[in-house]
């Protein structure tokens, strides 16, 4: 049995105002916990009725607690904006269960250009460009062209990692072009029809495997836009090689003749230059043309003509003196040859001139012919002489002359005299016979004898057998007057 005091029992009213205020405050503080507890109980009961779920929208994850019973109502409550092309899993009408994950598959925004028309903006759940094109009602042919972001791949790129708050971000650029039929007509070949998506004539030809050269003729122009049913006229140029000036020039041409090709290449033939084949020759495929340069050169060959040396008498120069009268100079013999070259090969030689360009000039020594008389003092008295010759002097007598005693001419000299002192033997080419001479140390002599060993500037001094003196030395031999009529002006050694 509770025996304590009842806190709520009425108490006598305290007539004191201060005491009454304190009692009212005490009562308020006692009521606050009671109210708070009631509110907590109510809140807990409300929260226990929420359904927890998650929303996966792109790279955004949204957690929610909702009393909504369907997926669509929960998304609407979460202010999620959807477009008709978006796909939600579970579907919008599905019941929302606890801890469900709602996945939003946003439709990608792509731009589609078909055959160059105005671009279309399409929202699609397709994974490839083919899916998008098929949805638009087009069938893709084998030669049709389909690109994604200007690349040949048709797989659409992944969606940007954004949420529905950025729904208008362009995902891809799809371009689709139908192939058109065009016909290629080439000279000496059957027409060829191709399907192509190339924008120009030139690109269509390249796509079909036709490598174009600058010299090829194409109509319409390679840069012209390509039209369906186009008739392309292709005139192929011919490959030609031209050998000129030591180099090979490769070209292609639509010209008809060799001369026209050379003119296009600015190759000029000068003078006797020629082309092989000739300028009028018709051009064929892989033709080889050679330009032959013809030039002429004159080769000058010179040979030295040696000069000669000679002597000439000079009456103004004293006898036995030799002076240089003229300096010699060689001559020049010249031969000029015309040489013909074809390119760098000599093909012809022709002597066009052969002459003495400069005559040789002889060297001339002047020997004296002027006779000057002089006087020489000797032990026997003065003598007058007109020439002095340096000679090797030897001596002999009748018994040493080399003539046997039994010979009829033993003891006789050339002039017919009997051998004696004063007779000298000489070379008549040097001293004329019967010329009187004076030899220092010997005296006067008469050149009246010769000898097989007395050659040139040799003099053999004659003696009697009983007074023979031996000589062998160089001496000055004086030739005495009178001057003979015939003088050897040039005495060789």
CATH number at residue 137: 3.10.20
Kindly tell me if the per-residue pLDDT of 166 is higher than 60: no
Mean pLDDT of 44-68: 78
DSSP secondary structure of 186-248: ETTS--EEEEE--SBHHHHHHHTT----TT-EEES-TTSBP-TT-EEEEEPPEEEEEEETTEE
Using the predicted structure, report yes or no on whether residue 178 has a pLDDT greater than 70: yes
377 vs 242: CA distance, rounded Å: 101
Domain count, the chain: 6
Residue 269 pLDDT greater than 80, yes or no: yes
> Does 396 share its domain with 453?
yes
Tens of pLDDT along 351-406? 999 999 999 999 999 999 999 999 999 999 999 999 999 999 999 999 998 888 88
Alpha carbon distance 327, 374 (integer Å): 33
Q: Are residues 390 and 463 in the same domain?
A: yes
pLDDT of 297: 95
- 142 and 127 within one domain: yes
In a domain, 486, yes or no: no
Q: Give the span between the Cα atoms of 478 and 481, in whole angstroms.
A: 10
Same domain as 198, residue 144: no
Spatial distance between the Cα atoms of 485 and 415, rounded to a whole number of angstroms:
18
- At which of 276, 292, 308 does a domain end? 292
Output the domain CATH number for residue 75.
Answer: 3.10.20.90
User: With 80 as the cut, is the pLDDT of residue 259 above it?
Assistant: yes
Mean pLDDT in residue range 452-461: 95
Domain carrying residue 257: 240-292
pLDDT at 34: 54
- Give residue 402's region: left, alpha or beta (phi > 0; psi -120 to 50): left
Specify the higher pLDDT residue, 121 or 243.
Answer: 243
Q: What are the tens digits of pLDDT across the range 88-120? A: 989 988 888 888 899 988 888 889 989 888 898
Question: Looking at residue 149, what is its pLDDT?
Answer: 85
Q: State whether 64 and 84 are in the same domain.
A: yes
pLDDT, tens only, 188-200: 788 989 889 888 9
Q: Is the pLDDT of residue 234 over 50?
A: yes
Q: How far is CA 272 from the centre of its chain?
A: 31
What is the structure's pLDDT at 83?
A: 87
State yes or no: pLDDT of 45 exceeds 50: no
In this structure, the answer to whether residues 305 and 331 fall within a common structural domain is yes
Same domain, 391 and 471: yes
Of the ranges 65-69, 70-74, 305-309, the best mean pLDDT one: 305-309
């Amino acid at each position: 049995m509770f025996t304590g005091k009842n806190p709520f029992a009425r108490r006598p009213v305290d007539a004191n105002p201060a005491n009454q205020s304190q009692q009212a405050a005490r009562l308020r503080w006692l009521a606050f916990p009671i109210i708070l507890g009631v509110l907590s109980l109510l809140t807990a009961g409300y929260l226990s009725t929420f359904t927890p779920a998650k929303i996966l929208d792109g790279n955004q994850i949204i957690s929610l607690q909702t009393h909504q019973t369907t997926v669509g109502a929960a998304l609407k409550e979460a202010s999620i904006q959807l477009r008709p092309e978006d796909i939600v899993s579970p579907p919008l009408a599905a019941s929302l269960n606890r801890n469900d994950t709602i996945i939003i598959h946003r439709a990608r925004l792509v731009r589609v250009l078909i055959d160059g028309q105005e671009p279309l903006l399409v929202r699609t759940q397709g994974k490839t460009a083919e899916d998008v094109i098929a949805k638009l009602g087009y069938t893709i042919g084998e030669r049709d062209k389909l690109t994604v972001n200007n690349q040949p791949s048709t797989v659409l790129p992944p969606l940007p990692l954004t949420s529905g708050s950025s729904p208008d971000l362009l995902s891809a650029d799809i371009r689709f072009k139908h192939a058109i039929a065009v016909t290629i007509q080439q000279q000496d070949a059957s027409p060829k029809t191709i399907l192509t998506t190339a924008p120009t004539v030139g690109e269509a030809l390249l796509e079909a495997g036709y490598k174009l050269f600058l010299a090829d003729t194409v109509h319409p122009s390679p840069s012209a836009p390509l039209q369906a049913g186009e008739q392309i006229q292709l005139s192929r140029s011919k490959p030609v090689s031209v050998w000129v000036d030591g180099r090979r020039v490769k070209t292609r041409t639509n010209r008809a003749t060799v001369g026209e090709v050379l003119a296009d290449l600015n190759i000029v033939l000068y003078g006797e230059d020629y082309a092989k084949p000739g300028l009028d020759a018709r051009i064929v495929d892989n033709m080889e043309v050679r330009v032959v340069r013809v030039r002429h050169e004159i080769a000058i060959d010179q040979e030295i003509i040696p000069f000669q040396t000679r002597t000439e008498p000079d009456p103004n120069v004293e006898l036995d003196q030799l002076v240089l009268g003229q300096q010699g100079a060689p001559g020049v013999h010249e031969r000029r040859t015309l040489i013909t070259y074809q390119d760098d090969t000599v093909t012809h030689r022709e002597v066009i001139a052969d002459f003495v360009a400069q005559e040789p000039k002889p060297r001339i020594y002047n020997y004296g012919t002027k006779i000057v008389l002089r006087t020489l003092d000797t032990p026997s008295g003065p003598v007058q002489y007109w020439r002095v010759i340096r000679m090797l002097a030897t001596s002999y007598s009748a018994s040493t002359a080399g003539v046997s005693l039994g010979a009829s001419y033993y003891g006789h000299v050339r002039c017919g005299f009997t051998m004696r002192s004063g007779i000298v033997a000489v070379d008549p080419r040097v001293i004329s016979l019967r010329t009187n001479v004076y030899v220092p140390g010997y005296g006067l002599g008469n050149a009246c004898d010769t000898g097989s060993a007395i050659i040139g500037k040799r003099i053999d001094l004659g003696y009697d057998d009983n007074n023979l003196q031996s000589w062998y030395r160089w001496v000055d031999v004086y030739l005495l007057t009178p001057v003979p009529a015939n003088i050897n002006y040039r005495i060789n050694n």
